[in-house]
Amino acid sequence: MRWSRRAALALALLASPALAAPVTPAPVVAAERAFAADGLALGVQASFLKHSAPEAILLAPEPVLAQAVFAAPRPKGAPLVWWPLWAGIARSGDLGFTTGPYTSDGKPGGYYFTVWATQADGSWKWLYDGGPPSDMTGAAPQGSEVAYARLATRKAGSPGKAMSEVTRAEIALHAAAKTDVRAAFLAAVADDGRIVGSTAPPPKDRSALEAELATRAASIAFSPLGGQASKAGDLAWTYGVARWTRDGQVRRGHYVRIWRNDAAGWRLLFDELLAAPPLKSPPVTSPTPNS
């Protein structure tokens, strides 16, 4: 009887969702590595087109649909090599990201950042690709183990509810950033979050993160353009326009972020600020894929 009870308990535990395979960013990492492999085999144009979602965007320097940019055949070009070193994923397994160093024609380029989402057929396609000129000195070599960001601890329950909550978090962040960028971001960033944008290496601790924030203007005006949340409502990405003044000159650029639904609420897991040249014409609000 004792064995039977133990066997019944074991069977019940095996059937429990708690013992289901844990969600990890491994599928996102695999998608990124396949993307990178095709970059060498097929060339930049073909690989970026092959692995992009219909709504994928680039900042070139304004938001444009990637498939429009890469639609026309181009020469294979110089080798672009990149590899992931940090990755994250939603608990619903449908939204994730990776980041790591890249080289162009063998020369250091900086750090890429890619946002990924699953498609109707279950495949992973990228939604955004771009990154800052972060110093890659000392970066782990290609093929190194990838660090995983912690999973969210809360779920909003739906993408719509999640985006409403993230919008409120961004409104608060943007209001605070108009007067004190450093304080605003330190209050919003997760304890394992990363903030990048300068030529410094991606921060690995709080002091480096604060040093990165010190490279930004004291006041920045942000305007959202778009984004997307996971099905579980636990992870979201956003992007938009940033404007600031430095040395008496008005500067502009774009931000790209990952928000995670933590126990204390939505926190910044990743934030990058990318400078852009002055506009020659009015910006579009956001690209829209052809229906």
pLDDT in the model for residue 6: 41
pLDDT in the model for residue 50: 97
pLDDT band at 278 (very low <50, low <70, confident <90, very high): confident
Q: Is the pLDDT of residue 227 over 80?
A: yes
Helix runs in the chain, H state only: 2-15, 26-42, 44-50, 66-69, 159-177, 181-188, 206-213
| Interval 192-218 mean pLDDT | 97
- Residue 95 backbone phi and psi in degrees, to 5: -140, 135
Could you confirm whether domain 159-276 is CATH 3.10.450.50? yes
Cβ-contact 71, 84 below 8 angstroms: no
Read off the pLDDT of residues 208-223 as tens digits, 9 standing for 90 and up: 999 999 999 999 999 9
Share of the chain above pLDDT 70, in %: 88
Read off the pLDDT of residues 154-168 as tens digits, 9 standing for 90 and up: 999 999 999 999 999
Could you confirm whether domain 26-148 is CATH 3.40.605.10? no
CA-nearest of 277, 253, 257, 239 to 196 is: 257
Cβ neighbours of residue 171 under 8 Å, at least 6 residues apart?
A: none
Read off the pLDDT of residues 32-65 as tens digits, 9 standing for 90 and up: 999 999 999 999 999 999 999 999 999 988 999 9
Read off the pLDDT of residues 20-31 as tens digits, 9 standing for 90 and up: 568 999 999 999
pLDDT band at 8 (very low <50, low <70, confident <90, very high): very low
Cβ-contact 261, 166 below 8 angstroms: no
- Residue 76 backbone phi and psi in degrees, to 5: -60, -40
CA-nearest of 109, 160, 157 to 135 is: 109
Average pLDDT, the chain: 91
Q: What are the start and end residues of each CATH 3.10.450.50 domain in the chain?
A: 26-148, 159-276
